Amino acid sequence: MIKLPYIKIEQLDDYIISTSMSARYLIEHVHFEYRSPYISNKSLADDTWNLEKYKKRLLNQLESENVSINSSPNSIQRRTDIKRISEIGNFINKSSGILFPTPIVLAVNLRNINTEKKSPYKLLPEEKCMEIESDAILTVIDGQHRLLGIEASNPDRWDKINLPVIIIPNADISVSTKIFIDINSNQRKVNKSTVYDLFPNIKLSGYNAIGLLSQVIHLLNERDTSPLYSRIKTLGTGVGSISQGFLIDYLNGCLGAENDPRASDNPEAFVAYYYQLLFQYFKIVKNIFPTDWQNEKSSICKTNGIGALIKLLPLLINSYGQIHDAEYSYSDFFIRVKNQHPDIWVHGNEIGTGYKAQNELFQMLQAVL
């Protein structure tokens, strides 16, 4: 039995309970049960749907083998993303301060329905606490990745982490399913460009590079001398042909900007370098392909063209050196591209979109190098 402070929150003709539980208590008492597929012949089941193999992979990520994990065709939870669990564990190990401000949602029921007890908990308003029976079973409705991520973190941290918890009293499978659907089907993922646009507000290490890249992108989009003037959708929607989220992901993935030590050691130099690099680079592209550049429907201005060009940039730097020292070589390269592939950007409009299309344009550019 455990005693916890609580707040009873009434909603219409029902109520929920808000409380706080230690990470260690949750790890030791919460029951994880995943929805199994409807495959009667186990020999036909893919390894993905084999509970024992999945459980073994999951437990390899965790610090303990005492986590309760089972499978049932009536369960509501989807299989957890093991990579995401590992990432959350690493995040906890490296973090300080507030980790999880949003609540874990739990159903609390009696483990043995034949017991004389009528409820898995008691509310004791006189003592300003609630008691959860020792034979109560706690099942996750929302928050399984957070809990397993904590379990994958350093156990020395578990007693230092308390989590806000919402308890749904006596929630059977019908009630739990409805709440799970309400929570997960109505969520709308925040646009990545909007998320990145907020990074400059954060003054913590680890957020520097993205926040600074967001500053660079705003400068490129807002200065009327920039080749990318008014072309970037800084919040992912509205006017523009390329999103801030796409640009930042490609600058990190292709140029390794997020690992540039100047982001922490010399932020002004970081911003100056990437602004000047992208300004000069796309100015050269604009000058060599003026008609395409002015055509907003051309692939040169969209994800296909911009993605291929950014992917090409580190190869050009490796071949010719930094752009401020080799502007002529960069210009000469794109003149050769224009001579050999005069319709390259028209072709870019005909091959669909996505990574495969960007890579096809990149390979055409690379072949000229």
Question: What are the pLDDT digits (tens) for 243-253?
Answer: 999 999 999 99
Higher pLDDT, 84 or 167: 167
CA angle, corner 264, sides to 258 and 269, nearest 5? 90
For position 111, what pLDDT does the model report? 67
**Residue 63 Cα distances to 105, 151, 228, angstroms:** 23, 6, 49
Structure tokens at 54: 């999945």
Mean pLDDT of 332-348: 95
Query: pLDDT digits over 283-301, tens only?
Result: 999 999 999 999 888 999 8
> pLDDT by residue (tens digit) across 166-177?
998 877 766 776
CA–CA dist 139, 310 (Å, integer): 47
**In the structure encoding, which two tokens stand for residue 193, read together?**
């460009």
pLDDT, one tens digit per residue, over 125-152 is 888 899 988 878 888 888 888 888 888 8
Cα–Cα distance between 285 and 283 in angstroms, integer?
A: 5
245 and 196 in contact (C-beta within 8 Å)?
A: yes
Mean pLDDT of 214-222: 93
- What's the pLDDT at 258? 87
Q: Record the pTM.
A: 0.64
Establish how many alpha carbons lie within 13 A of residue 37's alpha carbon, considering only the half-sphere containing its beta carbon. Answer: 13
Which of 32, 283, 58 minimizes the C-alpha distance to 137? Answer: 32
How far apart are the C-alpha atoms of 62 and 68, rounded to whole Å? 12
Q: What percent of the chain has pLDDT over 90?
A: 42
Smallest CA-to-CA distance from 265 within 322, 199, 323, 209 is with 209
Integer CA distances (angstroms), 203 to 251, 271, 318, 348, in order = 21, 16, 33, 40
Q: How far, in Å, CA of 96 to CA of 364, rounded?
A: 47
Distance of CA 131 to the CA centre of its chain: 37
* Top-ranked range on mean pLDDT: pick from 83-97, 178-192, 348-362: 348-362
Domain ranges of the chain: 2-185, 192-368
Q: Decide: 18 and 7 in contact? Cβ < 8 Å.
A: yes
